[in-house]
């Protein structure tokens, strides 16, 4: 009887539809490692679907942050907007990259994310299309940010929503801060103002 039940279980498992899981896994594991590029060789899509070349960021200090709408850190949008209003413009730019990588806390479409940011926080800094932040299989921007072999400075791991990366006006990787770092902290405001980091 035990052998019969075991055989039935094996047959049932063999008949499970696994194509979706297998396909998803294949997509995650077949990406080739990114070739070495400078920061200004990178590109991404804006939240409206337009092409955005990072060559447009030459001469500007940049804060890149992975954002989410349903996170305990989501209120940081308010301070990110304050930072943008105070320092944003010719010399300092914020790029917000929505990501659903942590706790599935950014499930919406680009249109839903844009609406949420506008209605709740009046966001006017540059929002980008949703990406993956994985250091080996994520968007090329995050591969560059997270791998010393690409950015030439340090390895980093995006640990949760609202991790922050600083890039100087020459396209050099400067710093990585975890989620708890306040957007209006002295470390970030000094960078935004062109002062030395603490």
What is the DSSP annotation of the chain?
-HHHHHHHHHHHHHTS--HHHHHHHHHHH-PPPPPP--GGG-EEEBTTS-EEEGGGGTT-EEEEEEE-SSSTTTTHHHHHHHHHHHH-SSSEEEEEEE---STT---S-HHHHHHHHHHHH---SEEB------TTTS-HHHHHHH-HHHHSS------STT-EEEE-TTS-EEEEE-TTS-TTSHHHHHHHTTPPP-
Q: In this predicted model, which residue has the larger pLDDT, 32 or 168?
A: 168
Q: Where are the domains of the chain?
A: 2-192
- Tens digit of each residue's pLDDT (9 = 90 or more) over 132-187: 999 999 999 999 999 999 999 999 999 999 999 999 999 999 999 999 999 999 99
- Tens digit of each residue's pLDDT (9 = 90 or more) over 68-98: 999 999 999 999 999 999 999 999 999 999 9
User: What was the pLDDT predicted at 37?
Assistant: 86
User: What was the pLDDT predicted at 196?
Assistant: 77
The answer to whether residue 117 is catalytic is: no
Catalytic residue from among 13, 71, 117, 146:
71
- Tens digit of each residue's pLDDT (9 = 90 or more) over 34-58: 676 899 999 999 999 999 999 999 9
- Can you identify the CATH homologous superfamily of domain 2-192? Glutaredoxin (3.40.30.10)
Q: In this predicted model, which residue has the larger pLDDT, 12 or 188?
A: 188
Query: pLDDT confidence of 2, banded at 50, 70, 90?
Result: very low
């Amino acid at each position: 009887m035990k052998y019969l039940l075991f055989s039935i279980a094996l047959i049932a498992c063999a008949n499970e539809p696994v194509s979706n899981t297998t396909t998803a896994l294949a997509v995650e594991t077949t990406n080739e490692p990114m070739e070495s590029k400078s920061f200004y060789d990178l590109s991404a899509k804006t939240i409206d679907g337009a092409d955005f070349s990072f060559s447009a960021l030459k001469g500007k200090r940049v804060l890149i942050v992975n954002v989410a709408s349903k996170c305990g850190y989501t209120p940081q949008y308010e301070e990110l907007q304050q930072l943008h209003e105070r320092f944003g413009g010719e010399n300092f730019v914020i790029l917000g990259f929505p990501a659903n990588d942590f706790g599935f806390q950014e499930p919406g479409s680009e249109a839903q994310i844009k609406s949420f940011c506008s209605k709740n926080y009046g966001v006017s800094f540059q929002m980008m299309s949703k990406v993956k932040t994985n250091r080996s299989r994520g968007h090329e921007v995050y591969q560059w940010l997270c791998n010393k072999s690409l950015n030439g400075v340090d390895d980093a791991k995006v640990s949760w929503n609202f991790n922050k990366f600083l890039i100087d006006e020459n396209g050099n990787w400067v710093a990585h801060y975890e989620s708890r770092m306040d957007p209006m902290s002295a470390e970030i405001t000094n960078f935004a103002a062109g002062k030395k980091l603490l």
